[in-house]
Structure 1
Amino acid sequence: MSAFSDYLEEGILNHTLRGQALSVPSTIYIALYTSDPTDAKTGNEVMDSGYLRQDAAKGGTIASGWTAPTTSSDGKMTSNAKLIQFPPIADGTVTISHYAIYDAQTGGNLLYHAPFTVAKTLEINDVLSIDVGGIEVVLR
């Protein structure tokens, strides 16, 4: 189950209940974490010279990176529509436990976050790939 960030919670409340504009990003990026990012963005994003957040749409439109929302047993759900592949690990062993969705390749605003079902330990030259449907954003 994915969680909203503090930034997104505030933005949705301001948009739906106070009539304020909600900024729509032009690109969505997937980030990898070695700990829980938390709603407040306090976790540890991967620190590796080969690491770079990945564009979920692979250069296409933002919508092309995600499936149309459907109803699941947990609520409304969308998932990544494209394979997401990160560059090889360059500096040493790293264990990936969580992912996050951002509106920028560096810095930016955290939107959603969740743990992977199983943490993955990567060694130098290992590549992490996330299959189509491997990231689900579920809203209740």
Structure 2
Amino acid sequence: MSALSNVHASTLLNTSLRSGTYYLALFLTDPTASGTGTEVSGGGYARKIINFSAPSLVSGKEQVSNSAPVDFGTLTADLGTVAYWGIYDALTAGNLLWYGSFTRSKNVLNGDAITVSAGAIVCTLA
């Protein structure tokens, strides 16, 4: 069995989430490791830039979280129930780098404003 040291986990988090421009995507279905989930589309939705805090040690694991709210604005259509998120390296298409689920899903209706709170997106390496 192998494991990462805290120093190396911190280095990897800095390299993979703090060294470029990354985009938060919203999903209706689990993106999975292969990136095959159903991303929200239409109604004025577009991926938004996300920035991350410096890595910190929490319960023995290095983690980063979004350092500011991510505002998707007011959407103009019923888009379905958003339950998952993904981090991409491009505004459109690109590569799925990280993914997870929200603690609560939200049924997005026409006129809803969507903001992901600071600290809501957490990426962890042990």
Fold conserved (TM > 0.5)? yes
Q: Between Structure 1 and Structure 2, which shows a larger proportion of strand residues?
A: 2
Q: Which residue of 2 aligns with 1:71?
A: 57
Q: Shift of residue 69 of structure 1?
A: 0.5
Partners in 2 of 1:74 and 1:116 — Cα distance? 22
Structure 1 vs Structure 2: percent identity of aligned residues?
34
Query: What runs of 5+ residues in structure 2 fail to find an aligned partner?
Result: 1-15
Structure 1: state its 5+ residue gaps: 1-21, 57-64
Following TM superposition, by how much is the alpha carbon of 1:26 offset from its aligned partner in structure 2, in angstroms?
Answer: 3.0
Choose which of 36, 39, 45 in structure 2 pairs with 1:42. 36
Counterpart for residue 46 of structure 2: 52
Contact 1:52 1:87 in 2 (8 A): no
Q: Which of 19, 25, 31 is the aligned partner of 1:31?
A: 25
Query: 1:39-60 CA distances to partner (integer Å, 9 max, x unpaired)?
Result: 000100002231000011xxxx
How many residues in Structure 1 have an aligned counterpart in Structure 2? 111
Q: Is the Cα contact below 8 Å between 1:87 and 1:127 reproduced in 2?
A: yes
| SS of alignment partner, residue 128 of structure 1 | strand
The 5 A counterparts of 1:45-124 are: 45-56=39-50, 65-73=51-59, 75-124=61-110
Per the TM alignment, residue 96 of structure 1 is displaced from its structure 2 partner at its CA by 0.3
**Counterpart for residue 60 of structure 1:** none
Report the Cα distance in structure 2 between the residues aligned to 1:101 and 1:74, rounded to whole angstroms: 24
Q: CA deviation at 1:89?
A: 1.9
For normalisation by structure 2, the TM-score amounts to 0.81
2:23, 2:32 → 1: CA distance? 17
What's 1:6 paired with?
Answer: none
Alpha-carbon distance in structure 2 between the residues aligned to 1:38 and 1:135: 16
